[in-house]
Amino acid sequence: MPFAPYRRHLESISLFSQVEEDISTDKIWKWRGHNIFAKSMTPKETPNDKPTVILLHGFGASSIYWRETIKTLHHHGYQVHALDLLGQGRSSKPTDGSVHYSINLWANMVDDYAAQYNLGDSGVVLMGNSLGSLVALSAATGDFKDDGNDSTYLSENNEGGGSRVKGICLFNCAIGLNSFNILKNPSLSPIQRKIYGWLFGVLNALIFGNEALLRYALNSIVTKELLSNALKGLYCYSPDRVDEELVDSFYYPAVDDVEGAVEAIRQIYTNDPGMSPMEMHEKHPEILDNIPLHLIWGSDDVVTPITGDVGTFYCDRVANNRSGKGLTTLDIIESGHIPFDDNPVDTHERLLNWLKKRLL
């Protein structure tokens, strides 16, 4: 389905109160007064004993780049839901100050979506890319409850036995909402931490917190050609997969609603980064040590390299069996930051093997 013209497509989508029985459904779900775009695919033969999969994208992306993952999982009998996070893709981008973007906000959104559509009779598998990985971890643990929520749907009693989440798969997991969590690295000296903190502050003041500059960039600098070249830098294995559909999925949400995009970009880069994956594991071992957790990492990722803080943490967790029951596993795929769309054949072979071995 073409992404553009972006607004016309949105106007043609009906509002649904429940998941349709059609094999493929594009819908707008109302959440806290905002439009959330969701794509779902349901196998013809339902119900079955396979868990439902929820896909969560990374910064600036949308459900579009899960195109091969959605088709593959559906072909193998999984019900799949891919959401455009609030402020990104085809979802609303509020500018009235009512939304404070955070990992926990999006995790709360995912939990409410799963609750409204009664997902999880056979369990739910959360899959996220980059910052979407952190959304998956927060939703799985119910960590967003600390933001004032009394209960959760997916994590239920916040104990492994009562959780609807039967597995988590993280693709090139990020360190936080933004890079500020790098400052938490214990190997940094006080001087290094101060220098990095000063540098981040300068960048935020001059660029990411500068609404006028961001507005000018989206109006006058960002082009499809520029985005195409940038995306090819992330698609190290198959740059030819950066096609018109993919480029449009990044381009139109930014230029069709510049004010909303500026607000989302400003907040994502300057808001509190939230908990790092390492902090999430430290805080919720009773949950994350008891759920199968699989990492699929692009070997040539320049955004969240396997040699970075998060990659090193998970490699050590797997190598030294630090997950309590040995439930954490890792596959390194020849690809960049988006392995499931850059090298879909190898990625999905490993993904399906993990699902079959650990969850079925």
Across the beta sheet with 293-298, the strand order is: 24-31, 34-41, 80-83, 52-56, 124-129, 165-171, 293-298, 328-333
E strand map for 84-211: 124-129, 165-171
Nearest alpha carbon to residue 355 among 314, 296, 309, 300: 296
3-state DSSP call for residue 35? strand
Cis before 47 (ω within 30): yes
- Which pLDDT value is given to residue 324? 63
Residue 19's pLDDT is: 36
- The C-alpha atoms of residue 62 and residue 9 are separated, in whole angstroms, by 15
Residue 298 near residue 236, CB atoms below 8 Å: yes
Q: Which two tokens stand for residue 238?
A: 């198959």
Judge whether 31 and 113 are in contact, CB under 8 Å.
yes
Q: What is the structure's pLDDT at 29?
A: 97
pLDDT at residue 196, as a whole number: 85
**Residue 15, pLDDT score:** 38
Rg of the chain over Cα atoms, rounded to whole angstroms, equals 19
Token pair recorded at residue 64: 């579009």
Q: What is the pLDDT of residue 206?
A: 85
pLDDT at residue 161, rounded to an integer: 53
pLDDT 10s per residue in the chain (360 long)? 344 444 444 444 443 333 344 467 899 999 999 999 999 999 877 667 899 999 999 999 999 999 999 999 999 999 999 999 999 999 999 999 999 999 999 999 999 999 999 998 899 999 999 999 999 999 999 999 865 556 789 987 544 457 899 999 999 999 999 988 888 888 889 899 889 888 888 888 888 899 999 999 999 999 999 999 999 999 999 999 999 999 999 999 999 999 999 999 999 999 999 999 999 999 999 899 999 999 999 999 999 999 999 999 999 999 887 766 789 999 999 999 999 999 999 999 999 999 999 998
Interatomic CA distance for residues 271 and 99, integer angstroms:
12
**Residue 202 confidence (pLDDT):** 86
- Asked if 87 and 37 count as a contact pair (C-beta separation under 8 A), the reply is no
CB 317 within 8 A of CB 282: no
